[in-house]
């Protein structure tokens, strides 16, 4: 069999390492074989490729960031000033420290609470916009190459490759994903767009990707807008939405999504984006509508199932929430968080016989200390519902054993101790809750109450 055919077949069968080996041996014999070179590049890229739309991290507010358009936006036009609805019901939906509702599914950029004291200690230099992930990918790829890097980036004649339509795109992906050299990739993209007389939408999207990586948001927006004019592609719409999200223009982001939906009706990816955006703007009704539409289109969408489950839970319908979470469970999501949610749903829908086994499972599965702490915290609610104050205190103590920065647990402990008559202890716990998470409203109310009592 021709070695090139073998390499192609291995590439198709996803045996990237073997494919790289075969390509290397071809290149040893014929160092100028473009086909083998290209295939090796593709295999190297595929090996480390991650869908960068889903894993995109929106960086912390940068110190020199002047991309945000309005510094004092009007209510409802920004993520920060989203109208907070007056919630009623058994328990209002928890919010992150920035006041946004917590989403039903964990994805980059939805951390629940400040992670630990260490994380909160910011260095004097603020974080830059470049995500750490891409750097890590690059280094991982370099490590596996024993005899130096595959391509000597510094010696690359970019203008030559930019003119070669067959090599420029794979080379770009290699540079962007595998090598992590955004700058070189960007240079290549600029030259290739020029060479293609600005007719290739793909290069514009890639250029936008590079601009986002180096935090030139406005330039990225221009490129994406121009790409959309040329060619409709779901990815372009999503990327443009993300850009508006990043410059805190959620309404523009929603507009983009809606125009995307006109071209790609019922597209799950765009609807997911809309669901998330509406959620961020506290527009629960719209968000739920989109998530429901997603389920009609794609009944296996875990994010929609989880988000709807959470919506029903905080909407005083734990029975409905239970159904959604059971669906997620039967689809094979087997995690501590899910069991924990199931336990809570059972607790609030009075199916007490199931509650404890669910929590038991959650505890068995929780290996992460943070998750364990949350499970114990929720178990304390079970104890409180049963009226067993001693047990509740113990659960909360166990929660604090796993995570000593859990402010709500401190708050609840304080309330329990106050009930027991240990007012000083309650005060002490409230103070520590306050220092851990100053945004927690309950703590302030409780402290005030104690002060006046």
Considering only residues 346 to 365 of the shown chain, the ones binding another protein according to CB under 8 A are: 357, 360-361, 364
Q: Are 259 and 273 in contact (CB under 8 A)?
A: no
Cβ-proximal residues to 377 (8 Å cutoff; 6+ apart), any chain: 395, 396, 399, 406, 408, 409, 412
Can you tell me which of 401, 420, 445, 449 binds another protein, judged by CB under 8 A? Answer: 401
Q: Find where tokens 């590439």 sit.
A: 11
174 to 213: interface string for another protein, x by CB under 8 A: --------------------------xxx--x--------
Q: Are 312 and 289 in contact (CB under 8 A)?
A: no
120 to 159: interface string for another protein, x by CB under 8 A: ----------------------------------------
Can you tell me which of 87, 111, 159, 424 binds another protein, judged by CB under 8 A? Answer: 424
Q: Shortest distance, CB of residue 426 to another protein, whole angstroms?
A: 12
**Closer CB to another protein, residue 47 or residue 95?**
47
How many residues belong to the site for another protein (CB under 8 A)?
Answer: 61
Q: Give 36: exposed, middle or buried? Use CB within 10 Å, 0-12, 13-18, 19+.
A: buried
What stretches of 274-419 adopt beta strand conformation (E)? Answer: none
Q: Shortest distance, CB of residue 233 to another protein, whole angstroms?
A: 7
Q: Where are the alpha helices (DSSP H) in 148-301?
A: 158-162, 165-173, 182-195, 201-213, 217-230, 234-246, 250-263, 268-280, 284-297
Considering only residues 295 to 354 of the shown chain, the ones binding another protein according to CB under 8 A are: 296-300, 302, 329-334
What stretches of 254-393 adopt beta strand conformation (E)? Answer: none
CA dist 4 and 257 (Å) reads 43
269 to 288: interface string for another protein, x by CB under 8 A: x-------------------
Q: Are 95 and 80 in contact (CB under 8 A)?
A: no
What residues make contact with another protein under the rule CB under 8 A? 1-2, 4-5, 8-9, 12-14, 34-35, 38-39, 42, 51, 54, 63-64, 66, 165-167, 169, 200-202, 205, 231-235, 264, 266-269, 296-300, 302, 329-334, 357, 360-361, 364, 394, 397-398, 400-401, 404, 423-424
């Amino acid at each position: 069999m021709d070695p090139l055919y073998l390499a192609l077949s291995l590439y198709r069968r996803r045996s990237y390492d073997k494919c790289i080996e075969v390509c290397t041996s071809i290149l040893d014999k014929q160092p100028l074989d473009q086909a083998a070179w290209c295939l090796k590049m593709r295999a190297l890229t595929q090996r480390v490729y991650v869908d960068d739309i889903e894993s995109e991290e929106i960086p912390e507010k940068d110190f020199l960031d002047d991309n945000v358009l309005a510094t004092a936006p009007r209510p409802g036009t920004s993520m920060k000033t989203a109208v907070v609805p007056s919630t009623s019901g058994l328990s209002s939906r928890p919010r992150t420290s920035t006041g946004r509702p917590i989403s039903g599914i964990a994805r980059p950029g939805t951390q629940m609470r400040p992670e630990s004291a260490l994380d909160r200690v910011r260095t004097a230099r603020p974080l830059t916009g470049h995500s750490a992930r891409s750097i890590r990918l690059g280094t991982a790829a370099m490590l596996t190459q024993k005899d130096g890097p595959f391509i000597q980036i510094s010696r690359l004649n970019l203008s030559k490759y930019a003119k070669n339509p067959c090599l420029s795109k794979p080379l770009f992906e290699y540079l962007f994903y595998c090598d992590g050299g955004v700058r070189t990739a960007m240079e290549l993209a600029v030259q290739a767009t020029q060479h293609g007389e600005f007719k290739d939408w793909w290069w514009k999207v890639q250029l936008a990707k590079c601009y986002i990586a180096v935090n030139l948001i406005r330039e990225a927006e221009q490129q994406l807008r121009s790409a959309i004019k040329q060619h409709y592609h779901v990815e372009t719409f999503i990327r443009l939405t993300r850009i508006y999200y990043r410059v805190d223009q959620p309404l523009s982001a929603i507009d983009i999504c809606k125009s995307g939906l006109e071209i790609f009706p019922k597209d799950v990816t765009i609807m997911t984006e809309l669901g998330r955006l509406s959620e961020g703007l506290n527009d629960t009704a719209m968000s739920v509508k989109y998530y429901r539409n997603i389920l009609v289109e794609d009944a296996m969408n875990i994010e929609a199932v989880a988000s709807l489950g959470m919506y029903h839970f905080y909407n005083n319908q734990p029975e409905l929430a239970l159904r959604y979470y059971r669906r997620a469970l039967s689809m094979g999501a087997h995690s501590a968080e899910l069991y924990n949610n199931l336990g809570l749903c059972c607790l609030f829908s009075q199916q007490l016989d199931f509650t404890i086994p669910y929590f038991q499972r959650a505890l068995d599965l929780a290996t992460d200390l943070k998750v364990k702490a949350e499970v114990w915290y929720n178990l304390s609610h079970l104890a409180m519902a049963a009226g067993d104050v001693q047990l509740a205190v113990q659960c909360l103590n166990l929660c604090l054993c796993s995570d000593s920065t859990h402010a709500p647990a401190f708050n609840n402990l304080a309330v329990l101790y106050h009930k027991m008559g240990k007012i000083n202890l309650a005060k002490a716990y409230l103070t520590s809750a306050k220092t851990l998470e100053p945004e927690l409203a309950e703590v302030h109310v409780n402290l005030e109450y104690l002060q006046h009592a």
